[in-house]
Structure 1
């Protein structure tokens, strides 16, 4: 008799990836690498080391995972200021995302 294994939840799988920052769980919108892959320098193709990430990837992760206390938007909705979308998320949204990842 064989046992079927239940798939591991993605959030648990990511926590078990030793040494990876949680921001790597999303694709990088700047260098276009897939989730869980290190960012690369677009001009040379060199991989960034030491947990370095593009700010756009960090912003995309925070937008995907946390609500913004500053502009009161839900996850997946971009932060805004005076009705216009921001290029990055508010600093308080980073704090919320880091708190939920811990």
Structure 2
């Protein structure tokens, strides 16, 4: 079977930029709510499911840390 070719012709460097998933900058610190480690996504404490966005407390803590 042949490999699927990308639909739009573009340089590989641009394609890599478009396909990477960049996380929220608040992921640089530990979450005070769920205790997720830096660089890891926040999780639900009940079942461990990863959340697409950080908890509000993590975002607030990151903002306070970077406000100075």
TM class by smaller structure: 0.5 to 0.7
Alignment-derived partner of residue 35 in structure 1:
38
Instruction: List gaps (5 residues or longer) in structure 1.
Output: 1-16, 68-102
User: Pairwise CA RMSD of aligned residues?
Assistant: 1.5
Q: What stretches of structure 2 of length at least 5 have no aligned partner?
A: 1-19
Larger Rg: 2
TM-score of the superposed pair, with normalisation by structure 1: 0.45
Cα distance per residue 1:69-97 (max 9 Å; x no partner):
xxxxxxxxxxxxxxxxxxxxxxxxxxxxx
Q: Which runs of 4+ in 1 moved over 4 A?
A: none
Q: Is 1:63 paired with 2:64?
A: yes
How many residues align? The count is 49
Instruction: Give the alignment of 1:45-56 within 5 angstroms.
Output: 45-49=48-52, 52-56=53-57
